[in-house]
Amino acid sequence: MDEQQDLKFEDNEDPGRWRHRKKQGGSRTFLAFFMVLVLFGALGGGAWYGYDKVKGFFGGADYAGPGSGEAIVEVKEGDSATAIANTLYEAGVVESAKAFVSAAKDNADSQKIQVGEYKLKKQMKASDALLMLLDLKNKNVSTVTIPEGWTSMQVFDKLAEATGIDRADFVKAAKDPAGLGMPAEWFKRKDGIKVDKTSIEGFLYPATYEIPKDATAESILKIFIKNFLNEMEKIKFVDTVQEKLNISPYEALVAASIAQVEGLLAEDMGPIARVLYNRVYTGDFPCNCLQLDSTVNYWLRLNGKEGKSSEKLTISEMHGENNPYRYNVPGMSITPISNPGDVALRGAMNPKKSPYFFFVTIDDKGKTAYGKTFAEHEANIKIACKNGIPIC
């Protein structure tokens, strides 16, 4: 018979009372009984503490001092206090796993420990180790913030500066978005235009990222891709676009990237995206093209040149046949031209319908005016010129 069959929790007036049926080898049974008692009682304080496979649980020794040297430990997704305790014990941070679990039980904030790598000391008092895990300053990471509307080129520059990794490594790793975790569904379009599967543009979601100290260019970009997919899932981007617009998520991502660059105010992200859809998909715009300076400027930047204001772009830059982002090329742009943020993405998901084919910024506050005809557009341009907007 299994020893644990000797431990029964019986229905009686005292449901917390355990009864033990004596048998040969009682000392071993008592040890099992005592262990179950301790663990059962501990779990009553919260399942997060775990108590499964606690290393050195009954040896609850604790270091007295503040510790010395350095130890890098990792808290993984789903780790209980027990799992963290075992990690600390194996790294030589705490003298016993039990000491850390006890410290975690005594600190109401212990469940706020975040996933990631931490820089601690060896031979620390368990409660001090817990406090260091709760202090985000001890995370073994570099923090990088990517603003909305940055191109991949700008992102690579920032990452190289923050990590010391050669920019060329990011460029090389970025040429295989699928290998970084982008699902095949994101490389499909409904408009017949072939997706450039070597472009990571649009997938580098603007946010603040924690970069592990020992990260590589590839592992960093995988973090970006994972976050992009998580954000798309949160806002139900794919499902909404396919249901409401009947276009591919990639095409809507392109529209969001353009709206992010063209619009200065959050309120204009959706209306600008709708203008793009009206030009490309309705068949009511002469060339079914975008006719945007922003796509031409993106091409210039891809080729190591500076972007230009509208009046300074040359005819060859705007219409050169070697430029896949040229002014009159039919259809939505072949790739995104920036990395759009939440507002632009939401705006492109299901923008309110409108009859407009034109838009222009008309004042220094970023206000955008819309027109259905070119005559209306010209009238808006005159307002912009009167207000000092450099487009004339």
- Residues 122-156: tens digit of each pLDDT: 999 999 999 999 998 898 888 899 999 999 999 99
Please determine, for residue 52, whether its predicted confidence score (pLDDT) is greater than 60. Answer: no
Cα–Cα distance, 105 to 57 (Å, whole number): 14
Distances (CA, A) of 348 to 100, 203, 240, 245, 296: 49, 15, 10, 10, 21
**pTM for the whole structure:** 0.75
Higher per-residue confidence, 217 vs 212: 217
Residue 172: the pLDDT is 97
Higher per-residue confidence, 41 vs 337: 337
pLDDT-wise least confident of 207-221, 242-256, 306-320? 306-320
Question: Using an 8 Å Cβ cutoff, are 331 and 191 in contact?
Answer: yes
Residue 180: which of 218, 150, 231 has the closest Cα?
A: 218
Residue 124: the pLDDT is 94
Centre a 10 Å sphere on the Cβ of residue 391 and count the other Cβ atoms it contains. 13
Cα–Cα distance, 123 to 160 (Å, whole number): 35
Residue 39: the pLDDT is 38
Residue in the structure block whose two tokens are 């922003």: 294
Provide the percentage of residues in the chain whose pLDDT is more than 70. 85
- Residues 183-201: tens digit of each pLDDT: 999 999 999 998 899 999 9
Residue 389: the pLDDT is 86
Higher per-residue confidence, 135 vs 22: 135
Give the dihedral sign, CA 114/115/121/126: positive
β-pair partners for 208: 145
**291: amino acid identity, one letter:** Q
Cα-based torsion angle of the residue sequence 331, 333, 334, 337 in order, rounded to the nearest 10 degrees: -170
- Residues 71-126: tens digit of each pLDDT: 999 999 899 999 999 999 999 999 999 999 999 999 999 999 998 889 999 999 99
Cα–Cα distance, 353 to 108 (Å, whole number): 51
Residue 56: which of 29, 79, 89, 88 has the closest Cα?
A: 89
Please tell me whether residue 221 adopts helix, strand or coil conformation.
helix
pLDDT band at 2 (very low <50, low <70, confident <90, very high): very low
